[in-house]
Structures are given as C-alpha cells and as structure tokens.
C-alpha cells in the first residue's frame, strides 16, 4: 500500500470521534471527494451502512451531505454488518459501499471504509485519488444534479437470506443449542435469526445496542460472558461476533474459547480438497496452525497482519481461504470479504456432517503457547532503528531456539507496538514477552 497516505490505513480511516480526521467536517468532505472520484469511474448510487455506535448518526448525515453535493445518489442501509454492506453493494449493482464503523473498538472511536462495486476493498489507486481530491476546495454540483437519497428498508432480510443460502441445503442445525453474542453491534438484528431459521435453538446476548455499549464486555474481543452462558445453558457451542460482524470467535460446550486459528483449521480440514493446495494466515498465526495445515498436505502462507494483506495474497496466489487469529476469516468461494456469520455457519456445518463436537474438531490442532503484549508508543516509532530492541529480540530468539518465534510489529490501527512471543514452554514464553515489552518501552522512552 502507498506509504504516503495521509488518511487511509490498512482498514480505511479510523480514530477517536471529534479528533481529526474523525470529525463531521472532514467526513462530509470525504464523502464529497469520494463522490467526485467515483463519478469519474462509473455510475450508480453509493450505499451507506453503519454499526450501532452513537456517532454513526452524525457521520451518516455528513457522508450523505458530501455525496449529494458531489452529485451522487445515496442508498441508506441503517445498522448493517460490514460483510452485509459488501454483499448489498454487489447485489444492488451500486458503484460503491461505505461502512461507518470502528469494528471491535469502543464506542468513542469510529471510522470510514469503502467497498468497490464488486464488494471488495477499493483499489489503492482509487483511495489515493480520493485523498488527492480532499486537497481541492469543495464545489457543490448544480442544484439540478444534486444526489438523491433513498432508504433500503429490507436490507437486513436480504442479508439474512444470503447467509442462509451459503449453508448446505440438505442439512439443518436442528438439535443444536447455540448462544450467540452480537456485541451490541451491527449483527444484533441479523445473526440470531440466521442460526434460528436454520434450525438451531438460539439464546441471544449482546443484542440491546444503545449507542454506547458496542463491544463493551461482550463479543469476539471479550468472550467471557459467552463462556459463562454456554455453560449455564448447556449449549453445544457459542458464537461471538464483533461490533461490525466481520470477526468470529467460538466457544465449545465446555466453555473453552476456539480462536480464529482453530476455526481456520476446522474450515480448512472440511474443504481441503478444494483449496488449491494452500491457505493464508498471518505472521501472528500460531505455529501449531501451520503444522496442522501442513499435515493436511496443504501449504501455509503468511501475510502481514490485516485482512487487506490476506486478501492480496489470496488473489495473487489464486486461493480461497485465509484468516487471522482474531477471527477475521475470508472465504472467497462464498463471499468477497471477511464474514463472521458465514464462517460460523461453515464450522457448524462441519459439526453436523461429521457428528463431532467443536472441541473434538479443534483437537486436530495443537496450539503453541503464545503471549502478546501491546506497548503504547504515543506516536509513530520505527522500532527497526532501535538497536537495543534488536539486540533483545536476537537474545530472546536464541533462547527459544527453532521451536519458537519472536515478532514485533506496529499496529495498523492504534499507536501500539505489538510484542509476540511463541514457544513450547509457556513460562518461558511469558517471561520473554514481558522482558521484550519492557525493553521496547525503555527504548521508546530513550528515543523520545
């Protein structure tokens, strides 16, 4: 991706509400700039969807004003999961879709990301053109050419039917008891119905959004309540989605978390003969996943962290399946972007077809102990230039030997350095992660 980007990161534009660039003024100008660029490349409306955070109302109106000023028609979807917006962009033949969401972040954050007309991320050159257009003064189209606005009222039902269409039509989920946690986010009025209409007995939590509770102590990043509810209800499995519905974490019948690496393994094993010889993970994927995939006679490729990079590698290598430990899983044979509901359906389908519990399915993969510590930087820091950190990393890697890994990388969405250590001995992994995090923190303070 172009490193000269001022606004666009690996997942659109994201930040704290009220702090540049996540302000109404900027978002309106962004809508106008996007409208100007998109109008040069095609015709048709632009869809706008959002998650459930309170600031979504404000930014929806701002985008609507900017796009209309550029002469582009708008279709409003209301609260919709990110993958649902991607589907509807393609399904309605729109020229683009815009998502107002900060995904798994708390309500104080928000962001804007775009889909092209085919339901994939905008090409780099289009994002760059939008940034370039932002430097120009806002010019309003002639009154006779201003964009018109219409609301698509059946968007949730269209997406529910799309998700159901991806499930094996000769089986159903009858007999399965599920707990579904929607993180008070964009799937609250969709996910429970998908699983219920396929036959499961569903208990729903995290389905009462108030604008402020999105991702709060719930969802894919906080599955503790789901674990408790699965045990309490005697459920066969739990499903936790994040605020915008593109991530999934599951819980087995014993209340144990099944993360994205394990889910990716289960899906890969169920369709290994149709995967073109490989799947894609990231540099953060557990070494146990790589070994398990290799035992399936498949190659395991590692991309940089971020669904954009996974998608790039999938397309370059002509593959169909990839994902992250966080539960962001891409199934290109079924849809165009990461989709938590569809990924969950594939796992449940495997449970039914193989007549195995989720715990039994995940047992084919042995996870190596892994410790991740986030070190706050306060600003952009190039850790490759910090010799003390380099020395500490080499020492830790030597101690781990061939059966372990050390990885330091900057977050793509927050001012953090992520310190990851992986190895055979859990206590050693923990000790080295803490040691490296302290070394990074000290080096950053000295370089400030």
Give catalytic residue positions.
103
Q: Using CA atoms, how far apart are residues 136 and 342, in angstroms rounded to an integer?
A: 41
Q: Using CA atoms, how far apart are residues 185 and 49, in angstroms rounded to an integer?
A: 13
| CB count in 10 Å sphere of residue 155 | 24
| Radius of gyration of the CA atoms of the chain, in A | 22
**Residue 142 burial class via C-beta count within 10 angstroms: exposed 0-12, middle 13-18, buried 19 and up:** exposed
Dihedral sign for Cα 236, 257, 410, 15, please. positive
Residue in the block written with tokens 């690496």? 261
Give the contacts of 77 (CB within 8 A, at least 6 positions apart). 47, 48, 49, 50, 84, 85, 88, 151, 152, 155
Report, in this order, helix, strand and coil percent for the chain, each rounded to 5.
40, 20, 40
Q: Which two tokens stand for residue 264?
A: 């990716």
Entry field: residues in the chain? 448
DSSP H helices in 71-207? 82-91, 124-134, 155-165, 191-197
DSSP H helices in 44-188? 56-69, 82-91, 124-134, 155-165
Q: Using CA atoms, how far apart are residues 175 and 172, in angstroms rounded to an integer?
A: 9
Residues 343 and 303: beta-carbon distance below 8 Å: no
Q: Using CA atoms, how far apart are residues 331 and 298, in angstroms rounded to an integer?
A: 16
| CB count in 10 Å sphere of residue 251 | 26
DSSP-based three-state secondary structure for 294: helix
Q: Using CA atoms, how far apart are residues 183 and 103, in angstroms rounded to an integer?
A: 11
Q: Using CA atoms, how far apart are residues 300 and 263, in angstroms rounded to an integer?
A: 15
Distance of CA 178 to the CA centre of its chain: 22
Dihedral sign for Cα 243, 113, 1, 376, please. negative
Residues 266 and 360: beta-carbon distance below 8 Å: no
């Amino acid at each position: 991706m172009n490193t000269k980007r001022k606004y666009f990161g690996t997942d659109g534009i994201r930040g704290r509400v009220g702090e540049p660039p996540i302000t109404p003024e900027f978002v309106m100008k962004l809508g106008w700039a996007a409208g100007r660029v998109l109008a040069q490349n095609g015709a048709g409306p632009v869809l706008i969807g959002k998650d459930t955070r309170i600031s979504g109302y404000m930014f929806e109106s701002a985008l609507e004003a900017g796009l209309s000023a550029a002469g582009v028609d708008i279709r409003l979807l209301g609260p919709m999961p990110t993958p649902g917006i991607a589907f509807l962009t393609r399904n309605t033949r729109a020229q683009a879709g815009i998502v107002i969401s900060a995904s798994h972040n708390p309500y104080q954050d928000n962001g804007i990301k775009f889909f092209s007309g085919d339901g994939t991320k905008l090409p780099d050159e289009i994002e760059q053109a939008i940034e370039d257009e932002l430097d120009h003064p806002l010019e309003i189209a002639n009154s006779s050419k201003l964009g018109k606005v219409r609301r698509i009222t059946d968007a949730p039902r269209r997406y529910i039917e799309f998700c159901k269409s991806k499930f094996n039509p000769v089986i159903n989920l009858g007999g399965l008891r599920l707990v579904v946690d929607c993180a008070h986010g964009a799937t609250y009025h969709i996910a429970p119905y998908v699983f219920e209409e396929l036959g499961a007995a569903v208990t729903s939590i995290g389905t009462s959004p108030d604008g402020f509770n999105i991702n709060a102590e719930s969802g894919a990043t906080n599955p503790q309540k789901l674990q408790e509810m699965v045990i309490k209800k005697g459920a066969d499995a739990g499903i936790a989605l994040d605020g915008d519905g593109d991530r999934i974490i599951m819980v087995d019948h014993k209340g144990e978390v099944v993360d994205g690496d394990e889910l990716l393994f289960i899906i890969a094993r169920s369709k290994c003969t149709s995967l073109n010889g490989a799947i894609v993970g990231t540099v953060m994927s557990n070494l146990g996943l790589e070994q398990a995939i290799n035992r399936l006679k498949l190659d395991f490729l590692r991309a940089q962290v971020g669904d954009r990079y996974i998608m790039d590698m999938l397309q370059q290598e002509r593959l169909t399946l990839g994902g992250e430990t966080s539960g962001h899983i891409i199934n290109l044979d079924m849809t165009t972007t990461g989709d938590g509901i569809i990924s969950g359906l594939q796992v449940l389908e495997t449970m039914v077809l193989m007549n195995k519990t989720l715990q039994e399915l995940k047992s084919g993969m042995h996870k190596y102990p892994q410790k991740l510590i986030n070190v706050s930087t306060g600003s952009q820091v190039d850790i490759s230039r910090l010799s003390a950190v380099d020395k500490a990393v080499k020492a830790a890697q030597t101690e781990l030997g061939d059966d372990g890994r050390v990885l330091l990388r900057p977050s793509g969405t927050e001012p953090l350095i992520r310190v990851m250590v992986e190895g055979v001995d859990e206590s050693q992994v923990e000790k080295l992660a803490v040691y490296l995090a302290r070394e990074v923190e000290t080096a950053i303070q000295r370089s400030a």
